[in-house]
Amino acid sequence: MTEEYFAAGRCLCGKISYTIFAPPRVMSQCHCDDCRKATGTGHASNAFFKQKDVHISGEPSSYGSVADNGFSVTRYFCPVCGSPLFGKLGSLKNSLAVAVGSLDDSSWFKPSAVVYNKHKPHWDFMDPGISVYEEMPPVVKK
Ligand SMILES: [Zn+2]
Ligand SMILES: [Zn+2]
């Protein structure tokens, strides 16, 4: 049986892999303190899918924290190689963010917003055509 899928990806070591069956609903880049720490670079690039459209193989480890807007954030990563893979926002219960760098092919990724721009390091450059928010845009903040 061959199933049509939108995208697929995996962690560095291959212990965790996933397949996505529909296009993302939101694409964004976040420069908040937590995303910089969790990714080890200047921002996190995330594509948000419906949770049910992302089929995960393997058991990722997770770490929960509270964002400065008061919502919980759970980050999922490979327990063996540490690759960041997914994120879940307490405010978006039916969505799963996929760390775009873990995709096999991310050529379709086109963020519509840069958030937490106030924490952007001067060495991290962004497409000037993307909407920039100093914190979280109101629509996501609620
Ligand atoms: Zn791994
Ligand atoms: Zn962030």
Rounded Cα gap, residues 15 and 26, in angstroms: 27
Question: Which domains are seen in the chain, by residue range?
Answer: 7-122 (2.170.150.70)
**6 C-alpha vs ligand 2 centroid, how far in Å?**
25
CA–CA separation, 53 vs 11, rounded Å? 18
* pLDDT tens-digit map of 35-47: 999 999 999 999 9
Judged by its nearest atom, the ligand closest to the C-alpha of residue 133 is 2
Q: What is the pTM of this model?
A: 0.92
Ligand whose nearest atom lies closest to the CA of 38? 2
The Cα diameter of the chain in Å comes to 49
Distance 80 CA to ligand 2 centre (A): 23
Question: Whose atoms come closest to the Cα of 84: which ligand?
Answer: 1
Distance of CA 26 from the midpoint of ligand 2 (Å): 14
Ligand 2 centroid from CA 116, angstroms: 7
| Rounded distance between C-alpha atoms, residue 77 and residue 86, angstroms | 7
Nearest ligand, measured from the Cα of 71 = 2
Question: From the CA of 67, how far away is ligand 2's center (Å)?
Answer: 8
User: How far is Cα of residue 99 from the mean position of the Cα atoms in its chain?
Assistant: 4
Per-residue model confidence as pLDDT tens for the chain (142 residues): 567 999 999 999 999 999 999 999 999 999 999 999 999 999 999 999 999 999 999 999 999 999 887 889 999 999 999 999 999 998 888 999 999 999 999 999 999 999 999 999 999 998 899 999 999 887 654 4
Q: Which of these, 19, 27, 10, lies nearest to 108 by C-alpha position?
A: 27
Q: How far is the CA of 31 from the centre of ligand 1 (A)?
A: 24
Strands of the 54-57 sheet, one edge to the other: 7-10, 17-20, 54-57
